[in-house]
Amino acid sequence: MFRCCCNEERLSGKVFETHTTPVLFEIVGAMGFRRLMDLYCVVKINDKEVHRTKVVHDDDSPVWTVLTGSLCLLKIPVETSFRRHTTSEVSISLHYRFITVGKVEILFEELLSGRGERQERMILSPTENHAYLAFRSRPATEDDILFFEQTKSVDMEGLASDINFRVVGYNGRFRRHRKFIEDKEYFLVRPGPDPSRPRQETQWLMKEQIETETMKPSHNWISVGHGTLGTIYLEVLSCHGLPNMDLAQSNFVSDPFVGIVFEDAMMRTNIIWNSLNPHWLPWTNRAFMFKVRHPTSLLMLGVFDYDDVLTDHHDPIGRVVINTSFFRNNTEYILYYKLHHDPDQIDAEPRGTIRIRLRVEWEDESEAMQLTFASAPRCVINVDNEKSYRVLKYITRGSMDMDEVTLDTLKLYLRELLSYQNNLCYVLDIFFEIFLWRGRLKYGRGRSVWFPIHSIVLFVGSLLLIERPDLVFPIFLYGISWILLSINYHLSRHPSPWKQVKKSEEVNMMALSGRSHFHPVTIEPNQGVEEDDKLEQLNAMKTERMMTLITVLFRFALKVHRIYSKTNLSSFDMTNDTTSKIDFRIIKRFVANRLTYLHTVVKSLCQTSRLIRNFINWESYATDVVTTNCFMLATLWLIFPFNTLVLWIIRLLALAFLGPWMKLVDVLWVHSWYETKDELLDRIERNDRWKPCVPDFDSLLESDFFRKMVYSGRIVAETALKEKDMREKLFGPYCEAVPHYDNSRFPSVPLSQSSATPLECCVKRRHDMLYHIPGQMLEGSLILKRPRNDQVALDAAREVAKAKKLD
């Protein structure tokens, strides 16, 4: 409690001290008005106005937020002589223009005893009988008072969170970047030398020395987020072969930096001035410790060319989206990724590569795997200017917003649908070989023997289905399990270790035992490259073979149709393959007015195709769940008499809905609003004006069930709107939702020069933490705030002072 003012009153020889206690008061909203109005509220204490909200226009159930004046501090008088409150009250009047619509009165005791819970009071109004006002209150804290004194939240814990580039120095850009000493070429270290060593020791280094220093462990780590599931350690090491985005300036090249988005936090590295092959050294801002809230959260990186002109935007170079849930626990990865800018990944010129060092540490790997089946929390990031928003949007969405309805996005979706014909041809080729009993069983190194196990299973299952049609359901479930397990067998033994998936047996053992059964994996650079190339060539040949066969059959069918139907098909060019070409001018001409509907349909088809592709390729733990459940359900079907149970269910349904007693339903209920054919004919003969009569389903909306549904929906809408406006006030008006699962057309795959080294579980590396970036997760009541983490939060001023030297 905070004593704001004090006065004394003498009454019958006794002294009463009256103090004011600050109370945080929130006007949540009003509901139940019969028409749309422009409403605002006026709060008075003892007939003195102390607060006024803004107007909410054209709403019969207005909701006030922090941006429309929902919050205020009320100074409630309290008599401390007898430890009791005065009997005065707070009045809240609702106004439409200059007319008072209604009024609510709340006693001081109710406000002081509130703990932030939602309360409702009926609005006393001569015109509204069922209108209510919702409010919340609780005693104010020091942080609450500071919130009203602050005009804007300071969203800068250090240089890494300075996405608006408030602290940027220009030392190094206009200096020469290389020199020769005794016929040896030295390069200026950017953004600056190691502050922990003598300046001349790391100010100029040779190329080999820079590479050696880059691979050393990072000096300072930046903690990000508030998750407790595990920690992802990321070090941005270098980029190679970046394009020059500063072509207009002949004396300079790109000034790259890397923007990173993970869950609800966005950060960046240092700017490396005037370099197409930047290296971030251990003393720079390159090392991040992400506290994971959900195991399927994506790690998104974007490389940009810094632009210091206020009216220009940072030029995007390329981006990478990393699904960290498929990396092994306690394994250090050196990963190389190719940067892409074009959504079709057909860049006009190479965009370079990025190298990172990554390690994942789960607190409980079994718990992390189980949480992959739960929906990920919705993460939104807000920024306060358009320049930063362009960076955020590019990292999360790419160079083109595929949700925007344009001809360009429609073309991309149509090309994607056409590209799936190759996948279809590959699947048809597999079934073709199964039908022809061509399967072979591999053993040893490069050896195989004829053993068509899939053909045998298909043959036996078909015979069993013919002889026992009652087993159609378990045979169907066993077939799904067999297909998915066969795909997992081949993908988990892919020659390229970066395209392998986790083995189904290891995942199931971890789910059953509650502990990890994944074996440590060591991956050498360029491991399995030759075998992977051969497999890619083989798959391409299979696809081309089946495509040629389908094309020949299609042409043959057209020739037969022309012969027997005597149809002139001379205008059809049989020499051109029209299956892969689209005249987009026709699309523009005929669907200009219906582009939105076509875009929605094609987008849904593409997203569904991606989900099916990820499911079949075991890129989600849901595939293992479906496989296991199908196998267990089919086994239970064979053990227990489910056939009898299903038969009796069908019998009961037939008896209930197809029997002669349905006539009673017609007579007692349906006939009152659905007349018979004879009655309709009588109306025609009488020329009776007739209007179809239907049941009054709207009356069901007045039932308690739907009233509770509407009320719960109202609460959800209030919470979402208040959080949205609070985020806008704290972090900025520009917001972007962060994807929580990878459903991209081209998932990012590490390049062949990547490597992996398992670490000993008992060895814990020491990480010197520099400061903590809490992200933008909000919690609390009335005033939403970011959660505190005093154990990892350090002084940001020290980092800002160091940033002035480095940048």
Weakest mean pLDDT among 223-237, 315-329, 505-519, 723-737: 505-519
For the segment(s) 178-374+748-806, the CATH number from 2.60.40.150, 3.40.50.1970, 3.40.50.300, 1.10.1740.110 is 2.60.40.150
pLDDT at 796 over 60: no
Q: What is the pLDDT of residue 113?
A: 87
Structure tokens of 537?
């060539």
Banded pLDDT at 10 (limits 50, 70, 90): very low
- CA 602 → CA 403, 578, 767, distances in Å? 11, 20, 48
- Distance, CA of 8 to CA of 79 (rounded, Å): 10
User: Average of pLDDT values for 69-97?
Assistant: 71
Q: What is the pLDDT of residue 109?
A: 85
| pLDDT tens sequence across 334-373 | 999 999 987 777 766 888 999 999 999 988 888 888 888 7
Residues of the chain with CATH 2.60.40.150: 20-140, 178-374+748-806
Nearest to 426 by CA among 531, 545, 578: 545
Place of tokens 């020199």: 179
Q: What is the pLDDT of residue 18?
A: 54
Q: How many CB atoms lie within 10 A of CB 473?
A: 15
Nearest to 86 by CA among 114, 113, 115, 107: 107
pLDDT at 234 over 80: yes
| pLDDT tens sequence across 144-157 | 888 887 755 544 55
CB 539 within 8 A of CB 425: no
Q: Are strands 440-443 and 447-450 parallel, antiparallel or unpaired?
A: antiparallel
Banded pLDDT at 260 (limits 50, 70, 90): very high
Q: What is the pLDDT of residue 574?
A: 43
Write the CB contacts of 453 (distance below 8 Å, at least 6 apart in sequence).
439, 441
Q: What is the pLDDT of residue 82?
A: 38
pLDDT at 5 over 80: no
- Give the helix, strand, coil percentages of the chain, each rounded to 5: 35, 25, 40
Structure tokens of 240?
């190679």
Q: Write out the H or E segment, with its range, that includes residue 441.
A: strand 440-443
Weakest mean pLDDT among 265-269, 356-360, 515-519: 515-519
Q: How many CB atoms lie within 10 A of CB 594?
A: 9
Write the CB contacts of 532 (distance below 8 Å, at least 6 apart in sequence).
494, 495, 496, 499, 752
Q: Please tell us whether the domain made up of 20-140 is placed in CATH 2.60.40.1180.
A: no
Q: What is the pLDDT of residue 96?
A: 82
pLDDT at 77 over 60: yes
What is the amino acid identity at position 528?
G
pLDDT at 325 over 70: yes
CB 383 within 8 A of CB 162: no
Write the CB contacts of 386 (distance below 8 Å, at least 6 apart in sequence).
313, 734
Banded pLDDT at 677 (limits 50, 70, 90): confident
The listed range with the strongest mean pLDDT (296-305, 311-320, 362-371) is: 296-305
Summary count for the chain: helices (H), strands (E): 19, 29
Q: What is the pLDDT of residue 529?
A: 92
pLDDT at 59 over 80: yes
Any idea how long the chain is?
Answer: 807
Beta bridge partners of 449: 441
pLDDT at 310 over 80: no
Side-chain half-sphere CA neighbours of 308 within 13 A: 11
Banded pLDDT at 11 (limits 50, 70, 90): very low
CB 146 within 8 A of CB 758: no
Of 762 and 165, the structure prediction assigns the larger pLDDT to 165
Banded pLDDT at 772 (limits 50, 70, 90): confident
Banded pLDDT at 763 (limits 50, 70, 90): low
CB 139 within 8 A of CB 117: no
User: Average of pLDDT values for 372-378?
Assistant: 82
CB 770 within 8 A of CB 799: yes
pLDDT at 101 over 80: yes
Chain mean pLDDT for the chain: 83
- CA 237 → CA 41, 280, 354, 443, 492, distances in Å? 56, 5, 8, 41, 29
CB 619 within 8 A of CB 501: yes
Q: What is the pLDDT of residue 791?
A: 39
Q: Is 803 exposed, middle or buried (0-12, 13-18, 19+ CB in 10 A)?
A: buried
Q: How many CB atoms lie within 10 A of CB 699?
A: 8
CB 261 within 8 A of CB 232: no
Side-chain half-sphere CA neighbours of 678 within 13 A: 1
User: Average of pLDDT values for 205-213?
Assistant: 92
Banded pLDDT at 649 (limits 50, 70, 90): very high
Q: What is the pLDDT of residue 175?
A: 64
Q: How many CB atoms lie within 10 A of CB 307?
A: 16
Weakest mean pLDDT among 193-202, 258-267, 561-570: 561-570
pLDDT at 630 over 90: yes
Structure tokens of 416?
């994607």
pLDDT at 562 over 90: no
- Distance, CA of 174 to CA of 188 (rounded, Å): 12
Q: What is the pLDDT of residue 584?
A: 52
DSSP string, 627-670: HHHHHHHHHHHHHTTHHHHHHHHHHHHHHHHSSTTHHHHHHHTG
